[in-house]
Amino acid sequence: MKAKTLLDIINEEGTIFRDKEVFTIEYMPENYKFRDHQLKKMAVHTRELKRKHKPQNMMLVGPCASGKTTTVSKFFELIEEHYNNIVCVHVNCQSYTTEYKVFIKIHEKIFGQKVSIGGLSTFSIYSKVMDYIIKENKILIVALDDFDFIKTSKDLNRTLYTLLRAHETYPGAKVTVFTITSHLTKMIIDPNVATVFYPIEIQFPSYTREEMFSILNERCRMGFYKDVINEEIIQAVTTRAYEIGDVRHGLKLLTEIGEKAEKTGSNQILKDHLN
């Protein structure tokens, strides 16, 4: 038998994974479970959109891996699909850690253009963004995800102040801010910010064990070929993820044991692959 070439190995169809992407953190499930209450509350406080008024500011609070980011992404997807007068920008503050970088992200979403660091001043980017939303009669909704990762209290306050008080410098500018955090931030909110930042608080409790199993079981159904994994192993993975309190650990573990099975030439995931 002819030996496999490197390209043969690369192009070879696996026997375990139907779609590996469903086990990644970035994957956006079409059927999003167990966060209807939070989505409905967000919808209630966004009712003014139909009158071309901006939604209320919101703060999404809950432990890591409790669905905050996916909920916001799903919500943004929904309203952008049905309202053409809004621009939704999701900012990961672990990557965009200063006021300047936050506005670079907003600029990229609106204009589809990268801005090199130092290429434009914060004021230039800010002015360009505000001029656009006024001229086009758009509502800007900015989600600051993990907003307590913004480097300093000064930067955090300046970012919030600049966004929330935009209408004072640019009459007609409509800006809403969603903040997302794993805990109520201990960073000091400046009095000038506090006067305009009264967010609606939306709580995200940790997933129950049953909910976690349902999520992981559904991902297995989509991500593995039929009969690759049994319920007993999914339950074992769920237990480990639940003990840590992070469904993402379960997704990572499912990927790892699937890869182990594939490397050993097995067409099923076995208990031994968990060790």
Q: Residue 187 — very low, low, confident or very high, per pLDDT cuts 50/70/90?
A: low
Phi, psi for residue 139 in degrees, rounded to 5: -105, 125
Higher pLDDT: 112 or 186? It is 112
Looking at the predicted structure, is the pLDDT value of residue 225 above 60?
yes
60-99 pLDDT tens trace: 999 999 999 999 999 999 999 999 999 999 999 999 999 9
Contact 242, 209 (CB under 8 A): yes
pLDDT tens string 107-133: 999 999 888 777 789 999 999 999 999
DSSP-based three-state secondary structure for 144: strand
Q: Is it true that domain 207-274 has CATH number 1.10.8.60?
A: yes
Q: What is the pTM of this model?
A: 0.89
- Residue 182 CA to its chain's centroid (Å): 13
Centroid of chain to Cα 5:
40
* Domain edges within the chain: 36-203, 207-274
- Our measurement of the distance from residue 254's CA atom to the centroid of its chain's CA atoms, rounded to an integer in Å, reads 21
The answer to whether domain 36-203 and domain 207-274 are alike in fold is no
Which residues on neighbouring strands pair with residue 90, listed in sequence order? 143
Q: Which CATH architecture has domain 36-203?
A: 3-Layer(aba) Sandwich (3.40)
